[in-house]
Amino acid sequence: MEQQNSNKPRYWNWLPAAFALAGVIVFVFATYGPPASSSGFVSALKGAWSSLAPDYIASKAHYRMIPGPGSWLFAFILGMAIGGFIGGRTFKKPVTDIPPLWRRRFGDDATRRYTATFLGGFLILFASRLAGGCTLGLFISGSTQLALSGLYFGVVIFAFAMLTARLVYGNATKEVS
């Protein structure tokens, strides 16, 4: 069951990692409020467009309801990139530009993978802004507050992601470990 190669860096076990993440989440509730990531995308856009098209930004409800980049929301997602950077630099496992499962199914064509992640990114953010939050801002934050919206969103995203992964990857997974 264990990896035969003991040099291979191991990801953290899920349960202690859940304690660590819950510690961060409770800290955020105490010092800010419900954590969120997808709102930070809107903050970034608001910052980028405010100087180029100030009238447009001022006229759109979605930009009026989210603060610009000088906010907790944008600082948080920027921090996530820094946290990912620190984590990646101090972790032996090299990162991939094309995940092995994808490569097994669709080959080495980087353009195809990048097109798929662009499309996937488009869908998850479009949907998050419609629902009012994402995995973090709606499912995790909402369920932590025992909100039905968060639990409902969580059940449906897992169901559709599992279904989509089956359709995209088919049975190519059987021989992949």
Partner 1 sequence: MITKILLGLFSGVAFGFVIQRVGASDPNRMTRAHLMIDADIPRFMLAAVALSAAGLFGLQAVGVGRTMVLPTSLVATGLAAAIFGIGWGLCGYCPGTTWAAVGEGRLDAVFALAGGLAGAMVFAHLHERLIPLLYDPTNLGQLTVTGLVGNHALALAVVLVGLGAAIYLIGRIWHHDTPSE
User: Which parts of 136-175 interact with partner 1 (CB under 8 A)?
Assistant: 136, 138-140, 142-153, 155-169, 173
- Pick the binder of partner 1 from 68, 72, 92, 109 (CB under 8 A): 72
- Closer CB to partner 1, residue 24 or residue 54? 24
Closest CB 174 distance from partner 1, rounded Å: 9
- Pick the binder of partner 1 from 53, 54, 86, 106 (CB under 8 A): 86
- Extract the tokens encoding 51: 């100087």
- Pick the binder of partner 1 from 53, 83, 107, 109 (CB under 8 A): 83
Closest CB 35 distance from partner 1, rounded Å: 7
Closest CB 107 distance from partner 1, rounded Å: 14
The answer to whether the beta carbons of residues 88 and 95 sit under 8 Å apart is yes
CA distance 14 to 30: 24
- Pick the binder of partner 1 from 11, 51, 55, 108 (CB under 8 A): 11
Angle separating helix axes 110-131 and 38-52, nearest 10 degrees: 90
What is the contact mask toward partner 1 in residues 32 to 61, using x (rule: CB under 8 A)? xxxx-xx-xxx-xx--------------xx
Residue in the block written with tokens 């662009």 = 118
CA torsion 151→154→160→161, rounded to 10°?
A: -170
Q: Is there binding between residue 85 and partner 1 (CB under 8 A)?
A: yes
Residue in the block written with tokens 């980049």 = 69
Total binding residues toward partner 1, as defined by CB under 8 A: 127
- Pick the binder of partner 1 from 58, 107, 109, 123 (CB under 8 A): 123
How many CA atoms are closer than 13 Å to the CA of 59, on its beta-carbon side?
4
- Extract the tokens encoding 5: 């190669």
Closest CB 158 distance from partner 1, rounded Å: 7
CA distance 72 to 74: 6
